[in-house]
Amino acid sequence: MSTFLSNSTNLTEIIKSAESNESNLPAKMDDLSSFIIIGQGQLEAVKAGIKAMKKIDFAKEVFEQKLEEAQNMADLLIDAQCKLGELTKKLLTYQGKKHEESKKNMIKKLGFNLADISRFERISENKDIIENEKKKSREKSDVLSLSQILKAIQKENRLKNNNIKIENDSKFDLPTSIKLYLGDATNLDFIDDESIDLLCTDPPYFVIDEKWDKFESLDKYLEWLDFWLGVVSKKIKSTGRMYISFANYYKYDIYNLFKRNNFYGFNFGNEIIWNYKNTTKPFDRKKYRINYDPIFYFYGKDASELNFTEYNESLNSVWEISTPQSNYAESKLHPCQKPLELYRRIVKTGSNSGDVVLDTFAGSGTTGIICENLNRSCIMIEDNEEYHKIIRGRINSFQT
């Protein structure tokens, strides 16, 4: 063990003197490794204390002080791991392949294994991601870890690879059964009345921090929603159906809007519960966490029975499907992107082969992908031209 640190060393004092400045970290590899090993132990002790404080509802000021101490420790340890990764990479590159055995011995003396050093080297190549994750951890009142950074790097790499494929595939024309228009969802004059078999769409929520989701007030949002519903409902056949996704927050206000307008000429079928099991919101210890969004299902007066060809969860009104993430095969390219499986169930049970499906808020094109694969025609409208390339790329990428 290096003389730079001893087991009695107080990492908090080192942090104060270093002021989270990487240049003030130990310069030698053995000193750095000692710093990391002892620091990890001390950090775990502080984190255990924070966990205990949460359980007994400790004084807020003391809790926040301890949390900041842990965050500072974690950030500096990450900097140290990054610096050690840089040093080992330089040294081992200089030594070359013939010194493979001496490399293993050196790493062993440092108190780590090859996998540890490989992780340190990997984060040293992604300093922009490290800084971004530090910021995100602070915003979430969380303590940064090496595994979080490695996951973020993996996510970024997958997203880059996926974007390259989408960029390449966006150069091809869409299949003839898919029509994509740039325009406003309330301007549907180019679509004949009662010509659509299925509406599957995801209008603004008045919830998230995006320009297209902002309204002056809830009343203004409901006023806009009423106008859009009055326009779009006229395009659906009396034999057709509507599936409209909303956020959980204002679903009762939205249901009352439908009720006041006699459901715009349709029958209210169900509230389908989309249980996205891999995320919850918000984190408020006075409330239960929300892990679902509602999908309002309506059917026309002449609608036939639902197309139940698969006897599974799609028969029921609660569907458990993970929300898309950047590291999933389908990726996540829109803040409100719906999973392919969710829309597959809607299109499969709510329409038939050869039917025409409308999505007036196309986003990243999930409806078009499903329609192409289930032999439905699809009309998509998206007012953000940037998403048109993503839509073309995704639909061409997912063709089978």
Average predicted confidence (pLDDT) for the chain: 84
Could you say which of 94, 126, 160 is where a domain stops? 160
pLDDT, one tens digit per residue, over 321-363 is: 988 765 445 566 767 788 899 999 999 999 999 999 999 999 8
Q: Are residues 251 and 103 in the same domain?
A: no
Place of tokens 């010509």: 195
Q: Is residue 166 part of a domain?
A: no
Same domain, residue pair 184 and 303: yes
> Residues 215-239: pLDDT tens digits?
999 999 999 999 999 999 999 999 9
- From 153, 32, 128, select the one nearest 87 (Cα to Cα): 32
Within a domain: 215: yes
pLDDT of residue 164: 59
The answer on 231 and 152 residing in a single domain is: no
The verdict on 133 and 183 lying in the same domain is: no
Is residue 169 one of the residues assigned to a domain?
A: no
Of the three residues 131, 160, 189, the one that is the final residue of a domain is 160
Determine which of 68-72, 92-96, 267-271 has the lowest per-residue pLDDT on average.
Answer: 92-96
**Same domain, yes or no: 154 and 185:** no
390 touches 364 (CB < 8 A): yes
256-276 pLDDT tens trace: 999 999 999 999 999 999 998
> What's the pLDDT band for 1 if we cut at 50, 70, 90?
very low
Type and span of the H or E element at 175: none
List, edge to edge, every strand of the sheet that includes 318-320: 178-181, 377-381, 356-359, 196-201, 236-245, 292-299, 267-275, 318-320
Give domain status of residue 103, yes or no: yes
- Whether 6 is in a domain gets the answer no
pLDDT in tens, 134-146: 998 888 888 999 9
Higher-confidence residue of 101 and 360: namely 360
Distance of CA 263 to the CA centre of its chain: 33
CB-based contacts of 95: which residues, under 8 Å, 6+ apart? 102, 103
Beta bridge partners of 298: 242, 268
Is 300 a domain residue?
A: yes
Q: Does a structural domain hold residue 167? A: no
Is 251's pLDDT higher than 60?
yes
Cα distance between residue 177 and residue 395, in whole Å: 11
Q: What are phi and psi of 14, to 5 degrees?
A: -65, -40
Between 96 and 3, whose confidence is greater?
96
Residues 106 and 225 reside in one and the same domain: no
Instruction: Identify the domain boundary among 132, 160, 188.
Output: 160
Cβ–Cβ < 8 Å for 115, 57: no
Is 237 part of a structural domain of the chain? yes
44/186 same-domain check: no
Domain check: are 252 and 320 in the same one?
yes
Q: Are residues 251 and 145 in the same domain?
A: no
> Do residues 141 and 218 share a domain?
no
Residue 297, sorted as left (phi over 0), alpha (psi -120 to 50) or beta, turns out to be beta
Percent of the chain with pLDDT over 90: 40
Band of residue 163 on the pLDDT scale cut at 50, 70, 90: low
Residues 216 and 147 in one domain: no
CATH number, domain with residue 261: 3.40.50.150
Q: pLDDT-derived band of residue 376, with 50, 70 and 90 as boundaries?
A: very high
Q: How far apart are CA 250 and CA 231, in angstroms?
A: 21
State the total domains in the chain. Answer: 2
**Tens digit of each residue's pLDDT (9 = 90 or more) over 190-203:** 999 999 999 999 99
Q: Which helix (H) or strand (E) holds 180?
A: strand 178-181
* Residue 93 banded pLDDT, cuts 50, 70, 90: low
201: containing domain: 175-398
Same domain, 21 and 120: yes
Q: pLDDT band at 95, cuts 50/70/90?
A: low
